[in-house]
């Protein structure tokens, strides 16, 4: 499997609770290299665009409200098989269903406030990374 990239966000719930360090540690221990990273906050427009695929879902309003309520850490991660391996590391969307040893098992509190984002395909990883980072910010 070739080395590739995925995109992640440490979401407002995890930032509020002081979990940035713990989550970054799990990312490092998982063998991911951080090639871009910033501390930022999504505007309503950013969050609506980022999650546009979910705009017809009943939880969309809550999701946008949640994702904009405070700062996030956005990052691009590099590893062999990055997208799939990072989905494994973060665990199921609903932390109640997340496996032991996953980031969401350890740090997420609910399906809506689930601590981290991970891209679901190479194509989306590229789109989401470009949404947050200019080429000169990626190392």
Active site residues: 117
Nearer to Mg ion, 120 or 122 (CB): 120
Q: Is 104 annotated as a binding residue?
A: yes
Q: Is 105 annotated as a binding residue?
A: no
Query: From the CB of residue 29, how many other CB atoms can be counted at a distance below 10 Å?
Result: 9
Classified as helix, coil or strand, 12 is helix
The residues that touch ligand DAT, with contacts defined as CB under 6 A, are 54, 59, 63, 93, 111-112, 114, 117, 120
Question: Nearest approach, Cβ of 120 to Mg ion (angstroms)?
Answer: 5
Tell me the backbone φ, ψ of residue 119, rounded to 5 degrees.
Answer: -60, 150
107, HSE (Cβ side, Cα atoms, 13 Å): 26
8 A C-beta contact, residue 95 and residue 109: yes
Q: Name the segment binding Mg ion (CB under 5 A); options: 16-24, 26-34, 116-124, 131-139.
A: 116-124
Give the Cα separation of 62 and 112 in Å (integer).
8
Nearer to Mg ion, 46 or 120 (CB): 120
Question: Nearest approach, Cβ of 58 to ligand DAT (angstroms)?
Answer: 8
Q: Is 136 annotated as a binding residue?
A: no
């Amino acid at each position: 499997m070739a080395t590739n990239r995925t995109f992640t966000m440490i979401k407002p719930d995890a930032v509020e609770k002081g979990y940035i360090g713990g989550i970054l540690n799990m990312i490092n221990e998982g063998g991911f290299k951080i090639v871009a990273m910033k501390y930022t906050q999504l505007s309503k427009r950013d969050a609506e665009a980022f999650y546009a695929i979910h705009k017809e879902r009943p939880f969309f309003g809550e999701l946008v409200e949640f994702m904009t309520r405070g700062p996030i850490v956005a990052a691009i991660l590099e590893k062999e098989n990055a997208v799939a391996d990072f989905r494994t590391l973060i665990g199921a969307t609903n932390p109640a269903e997340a496996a032991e040893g996953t980031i969401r098992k350890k740090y997420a509190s609910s399906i809506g406030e689930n601590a981290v984002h991970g891209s679901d395909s190479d194509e989306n990883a590229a789109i989401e990374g470009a949404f947050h980072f200019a080429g000169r910010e990626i190392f």
